[in-house]
Amino acid sequence: MKLKNIILFSLVLLLTSCALKPITSDYTFIKTDLEKVELDNLGNGTILIYNGADILHKIDNTARLNIWIDNKPLGQIRPSEYVIINLKNGKHQFKALHIDVVNMRSEHDVEIDEKTKVIKIKPNITSNRLTVTNELPEKIEKFKYAEKR
């Protein structure tokens, strides 16, 4: 019975220790309704950024991403959330952090131009992956707009 309690306590501690505290955004989010999110409305500096975490990261609470752009906090994007912001054309440095037992940090240089519309950031087992997809995520209707935390 004592061993069972220790294992249960350890499991609960492991699952809750991976929670990442949110950072406050310095960016102005462009609020929109899901019905109005269309690829044609993006571009020319209006960029949709979403968390493309898969089910494995969602289960153990390691899918929360804190993101900085040019050393300015964008905030925390949880799984199946997105934000829309304005970015000037040019090179921008994205930094992403998620916790998966240890801090998983990554840096990405992204060239923004008038054709850049959608950026997917996804935690993986060793770091984070950033991809300029210029495509809305599958099942966008299941995504929700990230709130400033």
The pTM of the full predicted model, rounded to 2 decimals, is 0.79
Count: domains in the chain: 1
What was the pLDDT predicted at 116? 96
How many Cα atoms sit within 13 Å of 70 on the Cβ side?
11
Domain that holds residue 67: 2-145
Positions in the chain whose pLDDT score sits under 70: 9-36, 57, 149
CB atoms within 10 A of CB 137: 16
What was the pLDDT predicted at 1? 75
What was the pLDDT predicted at 6? 81
- Give the separation between CA 109 and CA 47, rounded to whole angstroms: 15
